[in-house]
Structure 1
Amino acid sequence: MATTIQTLLKEHFDDFAQRNRLSFDMVRAAVCMRDCRSAALGGHINSCPDGHFDQIAYNSCRHRCCPICNGLPRARWLDGWKHRLLPCPHFHTIFTTPHDLLPLWRYNKGVFADTLFAAAAETLRELLADEKYLGGKVGILAAVHTWSQTLAGHVHLHVLVTAGGLDGDGKWQHAKKSCLLPRKVLMIKFRGKFRAMLLEKLAKGELKVPPSTTPAKLRSLLNLLGRTVWNVKILERYDYGDGVATYLANYLKGGPIGNHRILCERDGRVYFRFRMGNSDRTVPNRQGVTSLTVDEFLGRLLEHVPPRRFQSVRGYGLYSGNQHSHLTEAHAALGSAMPEAESPLSWQEFCEAAGLPDAGRCPKCGKPLVSHDEFERGRSPPRGYRDAVIQGSAA
């Protein structure tokens, strides 16, 4: 049997939870991923409307970290944003926080990420409002990531920003420079804002100080980091934002690692593939294989579970999504119409787009299957359907 996140949790999570202190969010995520699309979550019946075919479909957990059931939510998010993105070039910018601050992040995940979002968004909006660089209101779409390819802590923000903005007269101003902003200027301003915001929250008692340090040592660390170089990148310009939006979508749902990267579990270790970094962007990234003990793997996996109801993707400026965003005016300035809202992608449409056109249809007559007869968690399917086909895990 193939090694997956689900099989690892089924075999090892109970013992792991007894040996380690876990938050409620971690336990909930692990149980959801372990029980996804199994009888533990209940289910329903999909049937042909003409009675040719019946199928037992166990319910998905719908947890954002689950690698099994997030194909459809990911596709819906991406489809919605592809319609909202302005028809103009976009820049992909990355703001990375120093590894010295990882202990602070572990004890303040929500507050830390909120501060990271605010510092990056304010930095971009203030610099790009300056006529020296652009002189307009830009669209910003940001997503926080907290992991590296080996699941170690690596807190950074991916930002999609329009290569132009709407000025005070309602006219579109195109980016004046091929690199959007000077990297050093961007780094210094972001570093200053992020540190100042953290110091203010520390002074107000809004940050939980890690047990390995003290408030005074934490202030000293933040002051010291003000004299170091932070990793802030401005990547090449994309003619359209779809490519970066697709990149973000792959990280928003499904957790920090997909089942396709896991090779096997052997002798108490989990072996998986990872992408090796490469500073030379003309050479493709290489694939490597590494391993962690089962406890290390599960610990790193669950460390990246976001706080419940935490918004890991946020829009600012023209992409803020409120009545003050002026997105309609920006579309008009670019000569395009604001797209009308479309109905969400159905699971049958998703299966067809994924190359599984028969997954949601009767194998005999081809009609779309109809869902009915839901059964509760831990219960068996209705008596008349217990010999029906069990649905696969395409989505």
Structure 2
Amino acid sequence: SICKVFRYKFEHALIGLFDAGRLEHDFHDRMEFMGFIKKVVNKKDWIVHLEQPIQMPEQVIQYVGRYSKRACLSEYKITAMDGENISFRYRDYKNSPDRRNPVEKELTLHYREFFPRLLQHVPLRYFRIVRYYGFYSNKGSLPEEYFGRDESEIEEAELQQAESGYENPYFCERCGRTRVYSHTTVTGGGMTYTVILEHCDIHRKKAA
């Protein structure tokens, strides 16, 4: 199938980069790297999404328009409502054999549970959503010790933002332009998390 062919070619090229010393990694040797490919990467089935390339600008606008203003839950999927509970239909991709032909199911939730779930799919202001990201997704995670950080650092950053009077954290109050992301640094000893945002050519500001 196309999925197996794509996975073979992708992994073959990845192994070639490893053997040539052009792949940044933390593996001790080739045996450990190949074990990761076979036992971790190949443990799940790969899903390849293919579409015809978009040729005309009108097609791009139509494609983006379908998702930019689309609701996360359509009205027609809501089947019943009362004073306490809301029932709706959904597609169960998680329990589908190949995740391509999901079974449609119905779920009933109390409104106190329904709305928090619904709002998880509403992006915060100034955030954007990418529908398909595939192997570009970030599978890495911060070490567990970072989850125990003192939240006073975040509160201090929020306080500074509130005092500045600017709602958009990416807006530069000095030059009136949008800040450009430079890099993020994370250190373990002092539990320091710093995001560097460059804006003016003559000024840089650090924001936690």
TM over 0.5: no
With a CA cutoff of 8 Å and minimum separation of 6, indicate the structure with the bigger relative contact order: 1
- After TM superposition, the score normalised by the length of structure 1 is 0.20
- After TM superposition, the score normalised by the length of structure 2 is 0.32
